[in-house]
Amino acid sequence: MIYLLIAGIVACGYWVWTPDKELEQLKAKYAQAPSAFITIAGTHVHYRDSGTKTAPVLVFLHGFGSSLHTWDEWSKPLEQNYRVIRLDLPGFGLSGKNEGNDFSDSHDLAVILGLLDKLDIPKASFIGNSLGGKLAWRIASDYPERVEKLVLISPDGFASEGFDYDKQPESSFMLSAMTIALPKPLLKMSLAPAYANPSSLTSTMVDRYHDLMCAPGVRKSIIARINQTVLKDPVPLLKNIQADTLLLWGENDAMIPVANAKDYLNVIPRVRLDVLPNTGHLPQEEHVQPGLTVLQKFLQSN
């Protein structure tokens, strides 16, 4: 009986075991033109530079566990009037791990601004979702001369219930297990709450998220990022923001609730809020046009 039990455990483990995917195969699928790669601060950055090169510049920063592909449907129409820069943040997508295993905010900012320096872009409008929103407002606070306008889509930054500022996070066994097993159905279950309507999460999107989570080194990088994340009180930094700021929030965001918008409205000097009905954490994926329309009007406003 014990041998049957062991055999069953091994068979189950083999079924859920999820090795890294081949990088070249992922590049062939997800790094088509105008994708390019450049090494900055020890990270081999995957980015796209599209649209009109002489037009105003938009820099898009994705959220945790995502990639530059989350902006696909917004980028296409915006490329008609803007230069659109997108990148896979360190530890995600095809950018993957970095030499120093550094996934701090300061390193992320060095990579983002280093890329813009390489592209000879001194100033841009920054659009960030979730984690990307936190990085966008950090740039606006620390480097105001580089920010034209600021768009924060369900941004991260304030401590949620159960988390404290200036406290080292604790790793969990379940988190570490992700490096060994990441069944696609389980990933789909974890992604579904990001959408107001779960049917918005298509099989193609699930495949993309799964493929890029299984890019070489990404899952270990994600764990390293979580272990390195120490939240700081954002209020003093947010008060420094000089750029006109748009808060864009899904009414049905279950990841970072729209009620959190008041924290930003209370401290950012020049800020407005637009709430998108029947929308979750990822308006750029779920209801493309409503959020895009609000974004375009804001970018065109004086």
Ranges assigned E (strand) in the chain: 35-40, 43-51, 57-61, 83-87, 124-129, 147-153, 244-250, 271-276
Q: Provide the 3-class DSSP secondary structure of residue 66.
A: coil
271 confidence band (pLDDT: 50, 70, 90): very high
Number of domains in the chain: 1
For residue 10, being part of any structural domain is answered with no
Q: Quick: pLDDT tens for 3-22.
A: 332 233 334 444 568 899 99
Alpha carbons 46 and 89: distance in angstroms, whole number: 8
Q: Whole-angstrom Cα distance, residue 112 to residue 117?
A: 9
Give the domain range for residue 86. 20-157+170-300
Instruction: Write out the two tokens for 279.
Output: 């929308």
pLDDT digit string, tens, across residues 34-76: 999 999 999 999 999 999 999 999 999 999 999 999 999 999 9
CA distances from 234 to 108, 239, 254 (A): 17, 9, 21
Is residue 5, in this structure, part of any structural domain at all?
Answer: no
Residue 129 predicted with pLDDT over 80: yes
Q: Residue 174's pLDDT is what?
A: 63
Written as one letter, the residue type at 99 is E
Give the chain's mean pLDDT. Answer: 91
Indicate whether 37 belongs to any domain. yes
- The token pair at 173 is 């066994």
Whether residue 8 lies inside any domain: the answer is no
CA dist 137 → 57, 77, 268 (Å): 17, 25, 10
User: What span, in angstroms and rounded, lies between the C-alpha atoms of 16 and 9?
Assistant: 11
Percent of the chain with pLDDT over 90: 79
The answer to whether position 36 is within a domain reads yes
For residue 21, count other CB atoms closer than 10 A to its CB: 17
What pLDDT, on a 0 to 100 scale, did the predictor assign at position 97? 82
- 224 Cβ contact list (under 8 Å, min separation 6): 91, 101, 103
Whether 48 maps to a domain, the answer reads yes
Strands 83-87 and 43-51 come out as antiparallel
CATH of the domain at 216: 3.40.50.1820
- Which 3 state secondary structure label does DSSP give 229? coil
Rounded Cα gap, residues 273 and 68, in angstroms: 24
| pLDDT at residue 151 tops 70 | yes
Q: What is the pLDDT of residues 71-123, one digit of tens each?
A: 999 999 999 999 999 999 999 999 988 888 999 999 999 999 999 999 999 99
Q: Is residue 265 part of a domain?
A: yes
